């Protein structure tokens, strides 16, 4: 019997540990770890694109709670029979720590939270989404480890060497079956199945590598990195979902998540096609030049370019190149420096105009009307004048 199972993958004995009265759940730890990785990586990519450090964290303050609520709402809506009906406890719908987050709802409502935060900060949402995309899909991969500890989201029986062993878990105090909070006291597998959670984990990591490569190679922007992530993820979720054997509601004889995968995949492909002609990646330009005109060299809070609050803008980067993980090279920095030089030149020009319009030179004061008329002929070359 032992020889039969040497090549298979054992499941964890348990997914919950007690720290005094507090349960420590592997599923929750994996979700938290994924969120941390997504914020950390997204921050690095955002700063490399010209954003300010700390802005991704500000966005996450809105996006993460919205995403958790959206993920739970989708799960409860598509698996309502687990919580409502005869013998069911509706309050269990709020027990998010027991597992059950639908990625579709998490991304949809999380995107609403991100949109609200971006509007408050004056940040273009597509540019932020592109910066976050690789971190999000890696966070999903980490979250799938939580399904491993919960012994859930697996496929049908298999004889493949990477088959997953499923154990009976029981409450040690009562001996009653408890699949979620129990412990496996007997390590004889009751089944050996396809580890579909592992297939999705590996697929997600592959998608992350794909979109990082494509971003560097083709300088994707205007939301195309995020759209490519969505298309890549849904393509994998389609065939992995078909392999799963856990109970699920169906539409037209197919699991509802299979239908959702197809619809979302087509939407992502259409978006990629519609934005194909938008040109090179946008570069986030801050109001540094405007801040220098105030005389004190200070930038208003949040990188604001004016008293109206933060006003970062996005413009096509054109000839700018990237190194490493999408970092703008010295050419992009040179563009900004040139812009600041232009501001200085324009200021000097305005002074010269004023001197020419003093009339007889007796008062030393320029004629205000003439100065304004002449100044309007000087082109404004400040960075950020042409937001995307």
- Binding site listing: 144
* Spatial distance between the Cα atoms of 182 and 172, rounded to a whole number of angstroms: 7
Backbone torsion region of residue 364, taken as left when φ is above 0, otherwise alpha when ψ lies between -120 and 50, otherwise beta: left
Q: Could you give the dihedral angle defined by the CA atoms of residues 240, 149, 136 and 202, in that order, rounded to the nearest 10 degrees?
A: -50
Phi and psi of 150, rounded to 5°? -85, -5
CA distances to 50, 81, 136, 358 from 254, in Å: 44, 17, 27, 82
Closest to 215 (Cα-Cα) out of 134, 285, 141, 276: 134
Burial class (CB in 10 A: 0-12, 13-18, 19+), 386: exposed
Round the CA-based radius of gyration of the chain to a whole number and report it. 28
């Amino acid at each position: 019997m032992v020889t039969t199972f040497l090549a298979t993958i054992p499941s964890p004995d348990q997914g919950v540990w007690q720290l005094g009265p507090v349960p420590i759940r592997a599923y929750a730890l994996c979700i938290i770890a994924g969120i941390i990785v997504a914020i950390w990586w997204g921050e690095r990519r955002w700063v490399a694109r010209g954003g300010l450090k700390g802005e991704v964290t500000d966005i996450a303050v809105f996006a993460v709670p919205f995403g958790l609520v959206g993920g739970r709402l989708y799960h409860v809506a598509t698996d309502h029979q687990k919580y409502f009906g005869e013998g069911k406890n509706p309050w269990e719908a709020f027990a998010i720590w027991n597992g059950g987050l639908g990625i579709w709802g998490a991304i949809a409502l999380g995107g609403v939270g991100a949109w609200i935060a971006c509007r408050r900060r004056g940040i273009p949402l597509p540019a932020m989404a592109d910066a976050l995309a690789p971190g999000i899909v890696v966070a999903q991969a980490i979250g799938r480890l939580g399904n491993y500890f919960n012994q859930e989201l697996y496929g049908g029986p298999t004889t493949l060497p990477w088959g997953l062993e499923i154990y009976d878990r029981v409450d040690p105090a009562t001996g009653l079956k408890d699949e979620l909070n129990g412990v496996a006291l007997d390590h004889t597998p009751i089944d050996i199945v396809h580890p579909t959670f592992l297939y999705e984990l590996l697929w997600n990591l592959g998608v992350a590598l794909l979109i990082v490569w494509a971003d560097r190679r083709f300088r994707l922007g205007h939301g195309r990195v995020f759209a490519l992530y969505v298309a890549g993820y849904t393509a994998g979720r389609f065939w992995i979902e078909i392999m799963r054997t856990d109970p699920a509601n169906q539409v037209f004889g197919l699991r509802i998540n299979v239908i959702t995968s197809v619809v979302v995949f087509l939407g992502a492909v259409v978006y990629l096609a519609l934005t194909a002609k938008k040109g090179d990646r946008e570069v986030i330009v801050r109001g540094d030049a405007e801040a220098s005109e105030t005389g004190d060299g200070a930038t208003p809070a949040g990188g604001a370019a004016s008293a109206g609050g933060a006003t970062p803008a996005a413009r096509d980067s054109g000839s700018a190149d990237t190194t490493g993980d999408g970092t703008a090279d010295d050419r992009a920095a040179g563009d900004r420096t040139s812009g600041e030089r232009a501001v200085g030149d324009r200021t000097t020009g305005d002074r010269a105009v004023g001197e020419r319009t003093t009339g007889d030179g007796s008062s030393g004061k320029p004629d205000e009307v003439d100065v304004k008329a002449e100044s309007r002929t000087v082109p404004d070359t400040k960075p950020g004048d042409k937001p995307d």
